[in-house]
Amino acid sequence: MKTRFTPTVSFLALLGLSIFSACKKEISPLPQQPTETMETVSKANQQQVEMEATFNEVRQDAIGIDALTAGDDIGLYGSSGEGIFSGESNNGLTGGTNQPTLAKCYTVTVTPRERGVFPKTVVIDFGTGCYVRGHKRSGKIITVYTGKLHIPGSIAKTTFENYRVDSFLIQGTHVFENSTKPGGNYRRFTRYVYKGKRTNENNGQWTALESVQTDTQIEGNGSPDFPRDDAFSTEGKGEVQFSDGKYWVFSILEPLIKRNSCKWIEKGILKAVINKDESILNYGDGTCDNKAILTFNGESKTIEIR
């Protein structure tokens, strides 16, 4: 809040400053102080990055369905799988949890099953509880494919039915579109989150998200059916609302770099503005870890992404 010192007449008279009116000097306002604290900004950043991580997993599962599971190559990688469809312990991720996914505890239904017939609806049903990649999932993920995702113009639209990850209820719509330009050297994808919401059912606190981001594939373009060597550069912006009434907007200042071989974002800078207060989240120099440096009001703090 800005404060301004304005001398009163009685004050000037008391000091005998009779020449004040002849040489009046403007007093500069004090620097504006932030309305937020490092604690509140850190908590908000933590909630946002965990929200983003949740929808990034939704993205990986939508694009990663393999041809054997789907009965058609509707995913991004043809016969190869990604996300929960990789069939590997930890899905080949650095920073994994040693939670095997070979013994599937969920069911996958594809309708219609006939090859080449679209739209197709894929339902991943985790039932009342199913541990996958170190997290307990329950409920259903429902994705409708307009075409094969490796073909430009195809879209996968994902919604949820009583879907939970650990103690969090996940709601909203995730849209993934192959927006690669014809003849382009790099694959390009656009993804949207509409009315995304992540509610902690233990305390009722929630985070809401609306965003649009563009992923450009910067590595692995020469092996389109092998996901492990892929890396993506992400740009975009969005809005976040919190259950405590706070609201902020964010934008990616430097592209976020994410490799399929790593669970975490490895590089990039995110800026967020809340109540006119600005914070910067730096994901690092390319090292695969779950740490990022938050800077706010001249103070820095390391946060861990769960």
How confident is the model over 130-162, as pLDDT tens digits? 999 889 999 999 999 999 999 999 999 999 999
**Mean pLDDT value across residues 172-180:** 97
Sorting pLDDT into bands at 50, 70 and 90, what band is 173? very high
| Confidence band for 33, pLDDT divided at 50, 70 and 90 | low
Express each pLDDT in 233-242 by its tens digit: 999 999 999 9
Averaged pLDDT, 10-33: 43
Question: What share of the chain in percent tops pLDDT 70?
Answer: 83
More confident residue, 33 or 169: 169
pLDDT by residue (tens digit) across 245-280? 999 999 999 999 999 889 889 999 999 998 889 999
* Angstrom distances, CA of residue 82 to CA of 57, 61, 230, 272, 284: 10, 7, 11, 31, 25
More confident residue, 77 or 171: 171
Prior bond to 31 cis, omega within 30? no
Calculate mean pLDDT across residues 124-129.
96
Query: What are the extents of the domains in the chain?
Result: 33-230
Q: Which one has a higher pLDDT value, 92 or 244?
A: 244
Compute the mean pLDDT over every residue in the chain, rounded to the nearest whole number.
85
Confidence of residue 99 (pLDDT cuts 50, 70, 90): very low
- Reading the block at residue 302, the tokens are 């390391």
Q: In 239-276, which positions are buried (b, 16+ CB within 10 angstroms) versus exposed (e)?
A: ebebeeebebebebeebbbbbbbbbbbbbbbbebebee
Quote the pLDDT of residue 221.
Answer: 86
- Mean pLDDT over 99-123 rounds to 85
- Spatial distance between the Cα atoms of 142 and 120, rounded to a whole number of angstroms: 10
What is the predicted pLDDT for the residue at 11?
A: 36
pLDDT on residue 1:
43
Residue with more model confidence, 92 or 122: 122
pLDDT for position 134: 85
Residue 87 pLDDT more than 70? no
> CB of 304 within 8 A of CB of 281?
no
Report residue 193 as tokens: 């989150």
* pLDDT beyond 50 at 123: yes
183 vs 26 pLDDT, higher one: 183
Q: Which amino acid is at 227?
A: P
What digits encode the pLDDT tens for the residues 196-216?
A: 999 999 999 999 999 999 999
Residue 30's pLDDT is 41
CB atoms within 10 A of CB 217: 18
User: 171-191 b/e with 16+ CB inside 10 Å = b?
Assistant: bbebbbbbbbeeeeeebbbbb
200: helix, strand or coil = strand
